[in-house]
Chain A
Protein backbone atom coordinates (compact mmCIF):
# COMPACT_ATOMS: atom_id res chain seq x y z
CA UNK A 1 0.00 0.00 0.00
CA UNK A 2 0.87 3.67 -0.16
CA UNK A 3 3.07 5.18 2.53
CA UNK A 4 2.56 8.45 4.36
CA UNK A 5 5.19 9.90 6.66
CA UNK A 6 5.03 12.64 9.26
CA UNK A 7 7.82 14.72 10.69
CA UNK A 8 8.57 15.17 13.47
CA UNK A 9 7.15 12.18 15.31
CA UNK A 10 7.13 14.19 18.50
CA UNK A 11 7.88 17.76 19.48
CA UNK A 12 8.02 19.74 22.70
CA UNK A 13 7.80 23.50 22.55
CA UNK A 14 7.32 26.49 24.78
CA UNK A 15 4.04 28.31 25.00
CA UNK A 16 3.80 31.09 22.44
CA UNK A 17 6.04 29.51 19.85
CA UNK A 18 4.99 28.05 16.50
CA UNK A 19 5.44 24.47 15.42
CA UNK A 20 5.38 23.04 11.91
CA UNK A 21 4.41 19.45 11.18
CA UNK A 22 5.04 17.90 7.78
CA UNK A 23 3.00 15.21 6.08
CA UNK A 24 4.44 13.51 3.01
CA UNK A 25 3.12 10.91 0.62
CA UNK A 26 6.23 8.91 -0.20
CA UNK A 27 5.27 6.85 -3.21
CA UNK A 28 2.18 8.47 -4.62
CA UNK A 29 0.77 11.85 -5.40
CA UNK A 30 -1.85 13.03 -2.95
CA UNK A 31 -4.47 15.31 -4.39
CA UNK A 32 -6.07 15.67 -0.99
CA UNK A 33 -4.66 15.47 2.52
CA UNK A 34 -6.51 15.54 5.78
CA UNK A 35 -5.41 16.68 9.22
CA UNK A 36 -6.85 15.10 12.34
CA UNK A 37 -6.42 15.69 16.02
CA UNK A 38 -6.66 12.98 18.63
CA UNK A 39 -6.86 13.59 22.36
CA UNK A 40 -5.85 10.82 24.76
CA UNK A 41 -8.27 7.92 24.71
CA UNK A 42 -10.50 9.76 22.26
CA UNK A 43 -11.30 9.43 18.61
CA UNK A 44 -9.84 11.23 15.62
CA UNK A 45 -11.42 14.57 14.93
CA UNK A 46 -11.05 16.01 11.45
CA UNK A 47 -9.54 19.48 11.56
CA UNK A 48 -9.24 20.38 7.90
CA UNK A 49 -9.12 19.12 4.35
CA UNK A 50 -6.23 20.25 2.23
CA UNK A 51 -6.23 20.21 -1.56
CA UNK A 52 -3.05 20.81 -3.51
CA UNK A 53 -2.77 24.36 -4.72
CA UNK A 54 -5.85 25.68 -2.98
CA UNK A 55 -6.87 26.90 0.44
CA UNK A 56 -7.66 24.36 3.10
CA UNK A 57 -11.23 23.76 4.19
CA UNK A 58 -11.54 23.86 7.96
CA UNK A 59 -14.09 22.05 10.07
CA UNK A 60 -16.41 24.01 12.28
CA UNK A 61 -14.71 25.19 15.43
CA UNK A 62 -11.16 24.93 14.08
CA UNK A 63 -9.34 28.26 14.02
CA UNK A 64 -7.78 28.67 10.59
CA UNK A 65 -5.47 31.44 11.79
CA UNK A 66 -4.12 29.21 14.51
CA UNK A 67 -3.74 26.03 12.48
CA UNK A 68 -2.17 27.09 9.20
CA UNK A 69 -2.23 24.48 6.48
CA UNK A 70 -0.19 24.59 3.30
CA UNK A 71 -0.42 22.01 0.53
CA UNK A 72 2.10 23.36 -1.92
CA UNK A 73 2.87 20.14 -3.75
CA UNK A 74 1.24 16.80 -4.49
CA UNK A 75 3.44 15.07 -1.93
CA UNK A 76 3.64 17.54 0.94
CA UNK A 77 1.22 19.24 3.29
CA UNK A 78 2.24 21.16 6.38
CA UNK A 79 0.34 22.08 9.51
CA UNK A 80 1.68 24.99 11.52
CA UNK A 81 0.37 25.49 15.02
CA UNK A 82 0.88 29.19 15.65
CA UNK A 83 1.38 30.68 19.10
CA UNK A 84 0.95 27.29 20.66
CA UNK A 85 -0.56 26.93 24.11
CA UNK A 86 -0.75 23.95 26.46
CA UNK A 87 -4.31 23.20 25.33
CA UNK A 88 -2.94 22.59 21.83
CA UNK A 89 -1.02 19.60 23.15
CA UNK A 90 -2.36 16.61 21.29
CA UNK A 91 -1.64 13.90 18.75
CA UNK A 92 -1.88 15.22 15.21
CA UNK A 93 -2.43 12.75 12.39
CA UNK A 94 -2.50 13.33 8.67
CA UNK A 95 -3.87 11.17 5.90
CA UNK A 96 -3.43 11.33 2.17
CA UNK A 97 -5.75 10.44 -0.67
CA UNK A 98 -4.18 9.65 -3.99
CA UNK A 99 -5.77 10.18 -7.35
CA UNK A 100 -5.39 6.50 -8.18
CA UNK A 101 -6.64 5.29 -4.81
CA UNK A 102 -10.06 5.44 -3.24
CA UNK A 103 -8.68 5.20 0.27
CA UNK A 104 -7.10 7.45 2.87
CA UNK A 105 -3.61 6.38 3.95
CA UNK A 106 -2.64 7.54 7.40
CA UNK A 107 0.62 8.87 8.74
CA UNK A 108 2.06 7.66 12.04
CA UNK A 109 1.11 10.85 13.84
CA UNK A 110 2.97 13.64 15.63
CA UNK A 111 2.75 14.15 19.37
CA UNK A 112 2.86 17.81 20.28
CA UNK A 113 3.49 18.89 23.86
CA UNK A 114 3.32 22.57 24.67
CA UNK A 115 4.88 23.57 27.97
Chain B
Protein backbone atom coordinates (compact mmCIF):
# COMPACT_ATOMS: atom_id res chain seq x y z
CA UNK B 1 0.00 0.00 0.00
CA UNK B 2 1.10 3.54 -0.67
CA UNK B 3 1.93 5.56 2.40
CA UNK B 4 3.48 8.92 3.15
CA UNK B 5 4.94 9.66 6.56
CA UNK B 6 5.80 13.06 7.94
CA UNK B 7 7.26 12.31 11.36
CA UNK B 8 7.05 15.85 12.70
CA UNK B 9 3.63 17.35 13.39
CA UNK B 10 5.17 20.58 14.56
CA UNK B 11 8.46 22.24 13.68
CA UNK B 12 9.66 25.55 14.98
CA UNK B 13 12.82 27.36 13.88
CA UNK B 14 14.15 30.88 14.09
CA UNK B 15 14.18 33.26 11.17
CA UNK B 16 17.34 32.86 9.14
CA UNK B 17 17.96 29.31 10.34
CA UNK B 18 17.91 26.32 7.99
CA UNK B 19 14.77 24.25 7.91
CA UNK B 20 14.14 20.67 6.87
CA UNK B 21 10.73 19.03 6.78
CA UNK B 22 10.98 15.29 6.60
CA UNK B 23 8.96 13.05 4.34
CA UNK B 24 9.28 9.31 3.84
CA UNK B 25 7.19 7.20 1.55
CA UNK B 26 6.28 3.62 0.92
CA UNK B 27 5.56 2.66 -2.66
CA UNK B 28 6.53 -0.31 -4.77
CA UNK B 29 6.76 1.48 -8.11
CA UNK B 30 8.30 4.73 -9.34
CA UNK B 31 6.67 7.52 -7.38
CA UNK B 32 5.97 11.07 -8.27
CA UNK B 33 6.27 13.21 -5.14
CA UNK B 34 4.98 16.64 -4.25
CA UNK B 35 5.07 19.20 -1.50
CA UNK B 36 1.90 21.20 -0.90
CA UNK B 37 1.63 24.22 1.36
CA UNK B 38 -1.35 25.74 3.12
CA UNK B 39 -0.89 29.23 4.49
CA UNK B 40 -3.19 30.51 7.21
CA UNK B 41 -6.77 30.85 5.98
CA UNK B 42 -5.80 29.86 2.45
CA UNK B 43 -6.37 26.81 0.33
CA UNK B 44 -3.90 24.07 -0.36
CA UNK B 45 -1.47 24.88 -3.15
CA UNK B 46 1.37 23.10 -4.88
CA UNK B 47 4.81 24.17 -3.71
CA UNK B 48 6.99 21.90 -5.79
CA UNK B 49 7.19 18.50 -7.42
CA UNK B 50 10.25 16.32 -7.71
CA UNK B 51 10.16 15.93 -11.48
CA UNK B 52 10.46 19.69 -11.93
CA UNK B 53 13.74 19.81 -10.02
CA UNK B 54 13.20 23.48 -9.32
CA UNK B 55 13.48 25.74 -6.32
CA UNK B 56 10.32 27.53 -5.26
CA UNK B 57 10.45 30.31 -2.67
CA UNK B 58 13.92 29.06 -1.79
CA UNK B 59 12.68 25.54 -1.05
CA UNK B 60 14.15 22.45 -2.64
CA UNK B 61 13.42 18.76 -2.28
CA UNK B 62 15.39 15.82 -3.58
CA UNK B 63 13.96 12.40 -4.14
CA UNK B 64 16.15 9.76 -2.52
CA UNK B 65 14.93 6.40 -3.71
CA UNK B 66 17.42 4.50 -1.58
CA UNK B 67 16.08 6.08 1.60
CA UNK B 68 12.55 6.49 0.18
CA UNK B 69 12.61 10.11 1.25
CA UNK B 70 11.65 13.47 -0.17
CA UNK B 71 12.68 15.97 2.47
CA UNK B 72 11.92 19.66 1.97
CA UNK B 73 14.74 22.08 2.70
CA UNK B 74 15.39 25.77 2.83
CA UNK B 75 18.73 27.24 3.90
CA UNK B 76 17.38 30.43 5.47
CA UNK B 77 13.85 30.40 6.83
CA UNK B 78 11.65 33.49 6.59
CA UNK B 79 8.65 34.40 8.70
CA UNK B 80 6.33 34.11 5.72
CA UNK B 81 7.26 30.44 5.45
CA UNK B 82 5.10 29.69 8.48
CA UNK B 83 2.40 27.34 7.19
CA UNK B 84 1.18 23.78 7.07
CA UNK B 85 3.20 21.59 4.72
CA UNK B 86 1.99 18.34 3.23
CA UNK B 87 4.06 15.79 1.39
CA UNK B 88 2.12 13.81 -1.20
CA UNK B 89 2.69 10.86 -3.46
CA UNK B 90 1.02 10.20 -6.76
CA UNK B 91 0.20 6.52 -6.50
CA UNK B 92 -0.86 5.72 -10.03
CA UNK B 93 0.19 7.43 -13.19
CA UNK B 94 -2.80 8.39 -15.32
CA UNK B 95 -5.24 8.34 -12.41
CA UNK B 96 -3.50 11.33 -10.81
CA UNK B 97 -4.54 10.23 -7.31
CA UNK B 98 -2.63 11.76 -4.43
CA UNK B 99 -1.80 10.18 -1.09
CA UNK B 100 -1.01 12.78 1.55
CA UNK B 101 1.15 12.69 4.63
CA UNK B 102 -0.13 13.92 7.97
CA UNK B 103 1.35 17.34 7.51
CA UNK B 104 3.90 19.40 9.42
CA UNK B 105 3.07 22.78 10.88
CA UNK B 106 6.11 24.98 10.43
CA UNK B 107 6.48 28.05 12.59
CA UNK B 108 9.22 30.56 11.95
CA UNK B 109 10.04 32.60 15.01
CA UNK B 110 11.32 36.17 14.59
Binding site for B on A (CB under 8 A): 1, 4, 32, 34, 42-46, 49, 93, 95, 97, 103-104, 106-109
Q: Please, which residues of chain A bring their CB within 8 A of the CB of B97?
A: 34, 46, 49
> Which stretch from B38-46, B54-62, B67-75 is at the chain A interface?
B38-46
Decide: A43 and B98 in contact? CB cutoff 8 A: no
Query: Out of B45, B95, B103, which one reaches A106, CB within 8 Å?
Result: B45
Task: Kindly list chain B residues whose C-beta atoms are within 8 Å of the C-beta of A104.
Answer: 46, 96, 98
Residue from B42, B86, B95, B96 in contact with A43 in the complex, judged by beta carbons closer than 8 Å: B86
Dominant SS among interface residues on chain B: loop
B86 to chain A, nearest CB (A): 7
Q: Report B-chain residues with C-beta under 8 Å of the C-beta of A108.
A: 42-43
B96 touching A97 by the CB < 8 A rule?
yes
A44, B43: Cβ atoms under 8 Å?
A: no
Contact of A107 among B43, B46, B95, B99 (CB under 8 A): B43
CB-based A-B contact count at 8 angstroms = 36
Q: Are A42 and B102 also in contact (CB < 8 A) when A106-B44, A106-B45 are?
A: yes
CB-contacts of B74-95 with A (<8 A)? 86, 95
Nearest 3 A/B pairs, CB to CB: A106-B44, A43-B100, A108-B43
Given A42-B102, A43-B102, A45-B100, 20 other A-B residues pairs in contact with their CB atoms under 8 A = A1-B45, A32-B96, A34-B98, A43-B86, A43-B100, A43-B101, A43-B103, A44-B86, A44-B98, A46-B97, A46-B99, A49-B95, A49-B97, A95-B44, A103-B46, A104-B46, A106-B43, A107-B43, A108-B42, A109-B43
User: Measured between C-beta atoms, what is the minimum distance from A106 to chain B in Å?
Assistant: 4
Chain A residue contacts of B42, Cβ below 8 A:
108
> How far, in angstroms, from A42 to B99 measured CA to CA in the complex?
13
Question: What's the nearest-Cβ distance from chain A to residue B69, in Å?
Answer: 18
Q: Which residues of B contact A107 (CB under 8 A)?
A: 43
CB distance from A103 to the nearest CB of B (A): 6
Across the interface, which residues of B come within 8 angstroms of A109, CB to CB?
43
- Measured between beta carbons, the chain A residues less than 8 angstroms from B46 are 103-104
Is B95's CB under 8 angstroms from A44's CB? no
